[in-house]
């Protein structure tokens, strides 16, 4: 279960970090009309990446203090 929580935390971080970075660096500078919206949405996604990813990691550590032995 601990391994599943770590995989979920890593997957969540990646799924929020890369779209957020892409919105900030690619979309925001390509279209000046959508620039404020892209910046805000990008920073929201980056904030979710840096909050949900570690939260899931710590929840897995707390839920399963011992590594699953197989």
Average pLDDT over all residues of the chain? 87
Burial of 39 per CB tally in 10 Å (0-12, 13-18, 19+): middle
Token pair for 55? 């939260």
Token pair for 56? 């899931």
For residue 68, being part of any structural domain is answered with no
- pLDDT one-digit tens code per residue, 8-26: 999 999 999 999 999 888 8
The tally of domains found in the chain comes to 1
Instruction: Please report the pLDDT score of residue 38 as a whole number.
Output: 87
In terms of residue numbers, what domain contains 37? 2-63
The pTM assigned to this predicted structure is 0.79
Token pair for 21? 């970075």
For residue 69, being part of any structural domain is answered with no
Give the CA radius of gyration of the chain: 16
Report the 10 Å Cβ neighbour count for 6.
15
- pLDDT one-digit tens code per residue, 25-38: 888 678 788 788 88
């Amino acid at each position: 279960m601990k391994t599943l929580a770590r995989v979920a935390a890593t997957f969540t971080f990646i799924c929020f970090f890369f779209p957020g970075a892409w919105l900030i660096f690619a979309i925001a500078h390509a279209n000046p009309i959508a620039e404020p919206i892209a910046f805000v949405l990008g920073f929201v996604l980056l904030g979710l990446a840096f909050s949900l990813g570690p939260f899931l990691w710590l929840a897995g550590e707390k839920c399963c203090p011992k590594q699953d032995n197989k």
